[in-house]
Amino acid sequence: MHCCLGCRLVQASARECAECGAAMVAPMEGLRELLSYRDMNLVAERDMWLISALLAGGSIVMPFLLPISLLTLGAAGLQARRQRRARDLQPIAAIADTRLPVAPAAVTVSGVVHPLHAPARHAWDDGSSVAAELSVRWIGGLFLRATAVAPFVVTAPGGDLVVLGTVRFMPPLLRYRTGAAPEVTGADPRLAALGVPPTWRLGGVLHVTSILAGESVRVAGTITDEPVPALASYRDGGVARVMRGTPATPVLLEPGTGS
């Protein structure tokens, strides 16, 4: 599994993030290394390898430098191992958990949700729902998240609305107790199912938001009229009110209150 460095979405291998469109998508292990180097302080480690390379090259002309180059090579390897072990013990850093702005021409629609085709399955618990998000958060910080969203229909007073394309969950309004943050690790079965390494430590709480058919939701986005093949029939092109999201202007989704 890969993870987006911009929005922390855990997803399948891709060149661009499936939700935010960022090109900073890396394998989970690679992401761990990038977070370890967030201050980019690589001078000491680089210098040790450079000295070893220079001594090894000089030993061709001056053979007596060969034992010294082997010694510095071993020291460089030992230093790299210690630094790698120290990085592995560091907790994963969080990014700012901000509520996405609504597009200028967007409208907000509240209603009851139903899947257009079939529910979306989510890997972290082998369940299914219209939409779900698993995330690790703590006081304004987001560590990781994963989503499962199927195309769905919102039955609203103004008529049915079909939601397609990129859908982003709005961050939940959570209340935390004061004090030190708890910790969840990649050994948690739900995180392990997403491919999170068991050695990862995240200083937050694991939250799961699941929206089932028949529940109330709020969606925000731009509405257009366009044909929907799933709604088409003989002599009817299936033109419907559609709220289609893109990585630049996703449909914003959050659970409603009441049905």
Lowest mean pLDDT among 74-83, 122-131, 177-186: 74-83
Between CA 186 and CA 191 the distance in angstroms is: 5
pTM of the model: 0.74
Is residue 77 a contact partner of residue 52, using CB atoms and an 8 Å limit? Answer: no
Q: Which 3 state secondary structure label does DSSP give 19?
A: coil
Enumerate the β-bridge partners of residue 231: none
pLDDT value of residue 46: 45
Between CA 83 and CA 67 the distance in angstroms is: 24
pLDDT value of residue 230: 85
108 or 182, which is more confident?
108
Could you report the per-residue pLDDT of 194-253, keeping only the tens digit for each? 999 888 888 888 999 999 999 999 999 999 999 888 888 766 778 899 999 998 899 999
* pLDDT of 135 strictly over 90: yes
* pLDDT of 5 strictly over 70: yes
Between CA 101 and CA 248 the distance in angstroms is: 11
Domain edges within the chain: 43-89, 94-255
Average pLDDT over residues 180-192: 87
Q: Give, for 128, the enclosing helix (H) or strand (E).
A: strand 127-129
